[in-house]
Structure 1
Amino acid sequence: MSVRSSLPWPLRWVIAAVTFGFCAAIGLWAFEFGRDIAGIEGGSAGYVEKLEQQLSELRGQARSMKDERDEALAKANTASTLMAAEQAAQERLSELNRQLEADNQRLRDDLGFFERLIPTEGGSESLAIRGLQAVVQQDGQGQQVKWQVLVIQPQKNAREFSGQLEVQFIGVQSGRPWSAPLPQGPQPIRLRQYARAEGTFQLPPDTEIRSISAKVMQGDAVRAEQSVKL
């Protein structure tokens, strides 16, 4: 047994055409509505153009800021170089100043040294100690005495002298009298016109030096001596 539709085929074609047209109309409406929401048509095109223009301006500003940053870095590097050069120059000036002060002190010492070589009026001694000096200084081990002795023969065409120099340090240690010679003992000394001897002496702990004395010996005879208080 077969079942057939009661609608004739022309009517069925009409219904199918109407249904297809309705679906096409709905699809077209959905496409247009979606395009309006996305902002593709009408005023949205101008909005996109505006966004592109702003993006271009932002890129220009970014390039400008990068150039300013590079320029600032270059100036900073130049300033650092100038500061380093100025610091190096300042250090060189400080070193030169210290050297000049040392040279000035050496010249004063030499001037005093040669002033002591000038013979005294009416002097008849054949050998004399003209300059005995001592200065107490601080060092990493405590106190030390820097000493200097100048021995001269004031006569012209004097014979060469050969003898020994004795230096004695006198003071107080822990409240008691104290004295000590040079650790290495008497020093040999030889001169025709003048001779200068100098050195340092390390003071023992709890010791206060009061004076220093120097003697020029020839055998057992004392040829010259001098003492100074500190």
Structure 2
Amino acid sequence: MRWKLLRRRLTISAPQVAIRSSMPWPLKWAAVAIMLGFWAAIGLWAFELGKGLAGVDTGIKDEVIQLRAEVARLQAERDRVQSILNTSGSLMTAERAVQERLLAQIKQVEAENRALRGDLGFFEKLMPAAAAETVAIRALQAEVLPGSQLKWQVLVIQPIKNAPEFRGRLQVSMDGTLDGKPWTVELPDNGWQDLRFRQYRRLEGMVDLPAQAVVKNVSAKVVEGAATRAVQSIKLGA
């Protein structure tokens, strides 16, 4: 009988027995949380320790410092190159402006030289091998401009080849009416202008006129010593 009871307890058909702990469930959860935190702390400590032993964190910091220094050096180099470029650009602009002014002056001088050569060739063609007159007035011009001004121009030549230097004086005069009365003015400044040249000489001037003045004639006279060498007059207006 006892053997049957013992065998029944040891076999599958034996009755189930439930074993229950006497610890409350809040304490169980608290214990589990403490264990998880403990193992997490151990894992984090192991990770930091391994990273420190491997030198990963220190290497990254060193690389960051080196990269920052390199960036600062490159920025300084960029600023230096930019400054050099700006200075070079200013110098090139100034040099270009100087070159343009010089080219403009050269072109102007060349144009004047061509005009002088043309005038000289034209006058040489007009000059005979020998002439009775030694000085002649050519191309006397005068024009009344807006603003009560008179512009005059006169060309004096020696119509002979290889002419010696002429030394004399030139006087330009104009006559007309002022306030309805006869009016005469000698230029420049009521006097004479020294005249020295070999082949030809062009002279011009500007005169301010009184408000009520009307110029009718303009005359030019060239004298040498006490002798009058050339005289020419033109009429203005209708």
TM class by smaller structure:
0.5 to 0.7
Shift of 1:73: 2.0
1:149 aligns with 2:157: no
Could you report, residue by residue, the CA deviation over 1:106-142 in whole angstroms, capped at 9, with x for unpaired residues? 2134124312343267x966132134467999xxxx9
The aligned counterpart of 1:62 is 68
Could you report, residue by residue, the CA deviation over 1:135-183 in whole angstroms, capped at 9, with x for unpaired residues? 999xxxx998776533223245878866531124689999x99874212
The aligned counterpart of 1:167 is 172
The aligned counterpart of 1:111 is 117
From 128, 138, 148, the counterpart of 1:130: 138
The 3 A distance-change label for structure 1 pair 143 and 128 is same
The aligned counterpart of 1:43 is 47
The 3 A distance-change label for structure 1 pair 75 and 171 is farther
The 3 A distance-change label for structure 1 pair 154 and 62 is same
The 3 A distance-change label for structure 1 pair 166 and 67 is same
Could you report, residue by residue, the CA deviation over 1:174-220 in whole angstroms, capped at 9, with x for unpaired residues? 9x9987421261224356x5342535435368799998642224658
1:73 aligns with 2:79: yes
SS across alignment from 1:77: helix
The 3 A distance-change label for structure 1 pair 70 and 160 is closer
User: How do 1:1-230 and structure 2 match up within 5 A?
Assistant: 41-46=45-50, 51-114=57-120, 115-119=122-126, 126=133, 127-132=135-140, 148-155=153-160, 163-168=168-173, 180=185, 181-183=187-189, 185-189=191-195, 194-196=199-201, 198=203, 200-201=205-206, 203=208, 213-217=219-223, 219=226, 223-227=230-234
- TM-score, length basis structure 1: 0.54
Structure 2: gaps spanning 5 or more residues: 1-37
Shift of 1:83: 0.6
Distance in 2 of aligned mates of 1:143 and 1:105: 32
Structure 1: gaps spanning 5 or more residues: 1-32
Greater Cα radius of gyration, structure 1 or 2: 2
Paired AA for residue 80 in structure 2:
A
Shift of 1:58: 1.6
SS across alignment from 2:172: strand
> Does the 8 Å contact 1:118/1:154 carry over to 2?
no
How many residues get paired? 187
Shift of 1:43: 3.4
Distance in 2 of aligned mates of 1:104 and 1:210: 38
- TM-score, length basis structure 2: 0.53
The 3 A distance-change label for structure 1 pair 91 and 157 is closer
Paired AA for residue 169 in structure 2:
Q
The aligned counterpart of 1:16 is none
SS across alignment from 1:154: coil
SS across alignment from 1:185: coil
